[in-house]
Amino acid sequence: MFSSARALVAAGATALALAATAPAAQAEVRYVYTAWYGVGVVYQTAEATEGGTVTRDTTVKFVLQGWFDDLRFLDGALLPQKLATREILEQVDAKSHYVNRWENPPEDYRCSAPTGRLEAAGTLTPLHVYDPRAGRTVAAFVPFSMATFDLRCGANGGRLLGIGGRMFGPRDVAVTHLRTRIEIPREKLGDAEIVVPISGASRSLVRCPGEVVEPNLRSCATALTGTIRLYRAYMDPPADDLLAPLTPSRPKLDRDAARARATVRCPRGCEYRIRIFLPPRGGRGRLGGSSSSAPRAGTAAAASDVIVASRSGRLPASRAAKSLAVEIPAAKRATIVDAGGALVQIALDPPRGRTVNSTSFVRAG
């Protein structure tokens, strides 16, 4: 009987200890970000038989837009690996030149493709998970895992060109060619926006990502240039922060993009502002990036800093959640639906203290 009582007391003590430590564990989740990136990609290969009788030179250039949802930083460390939520391939320029001197007359034809398809998404992997020596905010960025291009060669038909870590050939080489190291400045964590440059280049002989046609000799080079921008979607301040109760929830967007909705709480009252932007195109404006060595992103695309709709006002002091809706003009709804969603920015400004900002990409529906 006494042993049973002691067991109950021990179980109760354990439960209390777990209850006491649970908030502390939850408090480690400090920041959640949405990350947008715009990357110019250049991929080049040169193939030849031993005597140079058959040669093929290929160049692929394109701009890749994408984003990662729900990037979490726990105690200053990025966790876990993330797959891109969505990616858009644009400004494709794929060309191939094939010469076969075995034939008489020699075969000489050129192929091209103005469009391509993304078959597998990009990844963002925190390196400290695999190498404790790596910084806690250092990550390996792979903009895409597989892309294919239908090359058309006029009267000579066509062929499928594929590049990426999931194509045939040595996977380690393929991933290395498309991977670049980025570091998110730890002292910037908590900022409403963090800008990180993307720059990477690789060269190798014989072993390249993509198809491998033996016994051809191959050389290849890849270049990645652009920008990744992190927008803070959630912030968990310390317990003594007076703004801790000032909370915007993750907004929602109607399936037909007729309106955006958000729920906010302002215990001491606040002024609010909700703005809706079109998603970035081609790396222009508030999001994305480009470089002179890669296709220029956004040369014919709308800048994402154009406000589609907005609403502002003042909320009285109340601990109850308040739902707010923003009507979106009918002329912009189809564009938002086609893009898969829109950027929604919420700002809450209390009478005293810091303004709380939240920017999220919200999918339609």
pLDDT tens digits, one per residue of 127-170: 877 777 778 889 989 898 889 999 999 888 888 888 876 543 44
| Residue 329 backbone zone (phi > 0: left; psi -120 to 50: alpha; other: beta) | beta
Question: Does position 114 have pLDDT exceeding 80, yes or no?
Answer: yes
Question: Does position 97 have pLDDT exceeding 50, yes or no?
Answer: yes
The closest alpha carbon to 224, from 285, 147, 295, belongs to 295
Mean pLDDT of the region 10-28: 39
Q: Are 99 and 108 in contact (CB under 8 A)?
A: yes
Q: Where are the alpha helices (DSSP H) in 111-150?
A: none
If one compares 172 and 80, the residue with the highest pLDDT of the two is 80
Distance CA 112, CA 230 (A): 35
Q: Are 186 and 194 in contact (CB under 8 A)?
A: no
pLDDT band, residue 23 (cuts 50/70/90):
very low
Residue with structure tokens 């649970």? 22
Q: pLDDT, tens digit, for every residue of 77-96?
A: 888 888 898 899 999 999 99
In the structure encoding, which two tokens stand for residue 154, read together? 């006029």
If one compares 285 and 364, the residue with the highest pLDDT of the two is 364
Question: Does position 253 have pLDDT exceeding 60, yes or no?
Answer: yes
Q: Which of 22-36, 106-120, 199-213, 267-281 has the highest mean pLDDT?
A: 106-120
Distance CA 333, CA 257 (A): 5
Q: Are 210 and 24 in contact (CB under 8 A)?
A: no
Q: Would you state the pLDDT for residue 64? A: 93
Percentage of the chain lying above the pLDDT 70 cut: 73
Distance CA 247, CA 243 (A): 8
Beta bridge partners of 46: 57, 219
Tell whether the torsion through CA atoms of 13, 14, 17 and 19 is positive or negative: negative
Percentage of the chain lying above the pLDDT 90 cut: 25
Q: How many helices (H) and strands (E) does the chain have?
A: 3, 20
Residue 243, classed as helix, strand or coil, is coil
Question: Does position 293 have pLDDT exceeding 60, yes or no?
Answer: no
If one compares 19 and 38, the residue with the highest pLDDT of the two is 38
Q: Would you state the pLDDT for residue 94? A: 96
In the structure encoding, which two tokens stand for residue 181, read together? 């190291």
